[in-house]
A and B are shown apart, each in its own frame.
Chain A
């Protein structure tokens, strides 16, 4: 689906990522884990064109999109939901969904919104509430629903379960699996909830200090020594 080669990027003169090689296969869930500050979010932003890219290439469905501007990528079926501020808080839920279909035809938008609401029926009762007044879980679902309105093929999620209760987090993970299975969307996520995320994933990557230290089957990463030394000490305790 998307293939990244030797990517070097950062903010201005500050380089964060070094020689990243990464591949997201179509129809599989790919998860990136790694300690705080290791550049995971920066990588997702780089994919979407929100950082400065110094060298390397990003190939999406055979096309080079390394320097394609974000709104063009949206039209190509790539959706990126940032960690925070991923919905417009001053707009109502309905307006958020509508604006998500900005690039579509008028009739099509209504159709897509209805479809998104079928996948996320939780949103049906709160259509006229301002997104700013929603709970964390509702907000995250709204964010994912906006991606559905947009006919997303590749869905990039930055820590979708951050600050959610374990129960809600599980609900979000289930939705992610559902998106892949029933709606042929390819999810790419970054997760602090590393263990549980890897359990639903097919492919796992691990970043440390802006470099890839592991890339391969997700299950294998769970048992990898690097993962255990970096993570289970910390995350494991949190999850108990």
Chain B
């Protein structure tokens, strides 16, 4: 572990830009922390924090000048690697027949500054979906291959966070190039620095850093321990897939579906949701068309449409699909949970539906037990 002073972070941003990376990090925009281009530390939301709860998000002033004193906002890094809309190919018909040209892939070099531990896990989960199956999503793979990851460990947790339950945070343990922990102590403002890859080492070598002393090391660990002790939510994951799949007809699904608006916000803000649809648009003559892949959500009724009607025509079935996918069937598909405990779906749900509360409600009234006993 090493230490860099606050001003050295500015140099890190400059170094990455000098290496050809577009540096993207947290910025203040439209009353929320949102990712955007960062040219120096003056672009970071110094002195701000966020207040989050079910259906509630508000920025507040801090009484210090911390640069990373908040948790995750409505966006996730997935928008850069799996864009909300992308062209797959262009098709043209002429006298020779039909021609299809793949769309050129834009894979700019980007440095993600301020990735949280849960977000690193979400990235690893999307890597699995898009690059570790029988087929590889090449545009994703190319964009993914061009990023540099600067993690920032959480020194405080948000009101809807539960990464401790999901074992995805608050301290980044892998999957980063560099990891920082911000410390404000006795008038000093510095970061501890950990290196997670050769690319990270090559950048760290050019920073003016000192070896972390015992106190600095302790302060760094204490920061994430404090966050771990502050989780706004928790989720009991013990036997969770079997619990949910054994309760597919539980009355709780009807109850939550009465509140659910099927707005799909939860899937749009979720850093692991990967669903998309493909659409065609043709010119008026019908001889040229563009095929586009856009984010979609299992909350949309058309999502499960087959000739004759939608398979999941009721909100009950759609809410159940979402939650069982996140917490149960994802394990079957990819060997991990599909939820990293970032809390976004709780915060950005207009009616404050809470995945942890729903899982707890089903656990409290497990119908398998009732069936066995009765």
Are A and B part of the same complex?
no
